Amino acid sequence: MQTVLQQLVNGLSLGSIYALLALGYTMVYGIIKLINFAHGDIYMLGAFWGYYVIHQWHFSFWPALLSAMVFCALAGVIIEYLAYRPLRNSPRIAALITAIGVSFLLENGMSYLFSSNVRSFPQVMDVKSYNLFGIKVSNIQVLILVVSIVLMILLQLIIRRTKMGKAMRAVSVDPDAAQLIGINIDRTISFTFALGSALAGAAGVMIGLYYNSIDPLMGMTPGIKAFVAAVLGGIGLIPGAALGGFVIGILETATQALGFSAFKDAVVYVVLIIILLVRPAGILGKNIKEKV
């Protein structure tokens, strides 16, 4: 029983990272129907920024986290402006391929500039383990979970309660109509990228601290897993992304706990295929009939 609960804790802390990343995927998809494959690499940029400011400027954890969010938000906006905006009216496949290109550019550009070596992340926070009824939880695991949930709630508030959030929802439903009633589409989309990328940046710094190892290709696998999480929960839906992230995290942990460690990734993708066959819109997705 203790082991099961311990595994659940492991699954939740892994899942919260996937969830944070999945939110960025889902927001961008929800608004401009683009799967931003470079999202995982923005997470990597966040981790490197954290590494840099802690190392060079001796930031403590919170300033590093916040500055990484700002930095990644800027990076996201710039990428959108340079790579995706010129292609907004092109076929969707062109934008998708560009996204893959941006992803490669970031990965290999960072490898070129900073070498592909694995670096150890400066430990700005001492690891403390708490024993709760025989279950070991570290302060960083709690931190990741809490920060993730707080950020998700904040995001939900921004989207539901602010004017910008309303604009985002409007653009998501019908960009042309939104423009007609005076919403600045460019600004709304930039804002969406900024929000999503800021979340990825936060995830990057927290993961750097948690695992103590960062490298330019660190965004690849988590990026794809987070994409699966977004699809699983229902792409375009924010609660869906959070749910999908936690489901994938727990699923991976469970697979390993049951002794199928060699099939850990395979199980995740099999679940994706099953979901796409049975509920193409995802767990929380609704089937929307298209008018002809």
Rule CB under 8 A: choose which of 113, 133, 181, 259 binds another protein.
259
User: How many residues bind another protein, per CB under 8 A?
Assistant: 35
Q: Binding pattern to another protein, positions 112-151, x when CB under 8 A?
A: ---xxxx-x--x---x-x------x-x-------------
Closest CA to 73 of 94, 46, 50: 46
Q: Which is nearer to another protein, 87 or 265 (CB)?
A: 265
Q: Which is nearer to another protein, 111 or 156 (CB)?
A: 111
Helix, strand, coil content of the chain in percent (nearest 5): 75, 5, 20
Question: What pairs with residue 130 in β-bridges?
Answer: 137
**Which one of 3-11, 48-56, 172-180, 236-244 is the stretch in contact with another protein (CB under 8 A)?**
3-11
Question: What pairs with residue 214 in β-bridges?
Answer: 119
**Which one of 33-41, 95-103, 110-118, 156-164 is the stretch in contact with another protein (CB under 8 A)?**
110-118
Burial label for 219, CB within 10 Å (0-12, 13-18, 19+), is buried
Provide the 8-state DSSP code for 259. T
Q: What Cα–Cα distance (Å) separates residue 119 from each residue in 42, 47, 52, 160?
A: 17, 11, 11, 40
179-218 residues near another protein, rule: CB under 8 A = 207, 211-213, 215, 217-218
State in angstroms the smallest separation of the CB of 55 from another protein: 13
**How many angstroms separate the CA atoms of 262 and 252, rounded?**
11
- Give the position of tokens 């082991």: 3
By CB under 8 A, name the binding residues for another protein.
Answer: 3, 6-7, 10-11, 13-14, 115-118, 120, 123, 127, 129, 136, 138, 207, 211-213, 215, 217-218, 220-221, 252-253, 256-257, 259, 261-262, 264-265
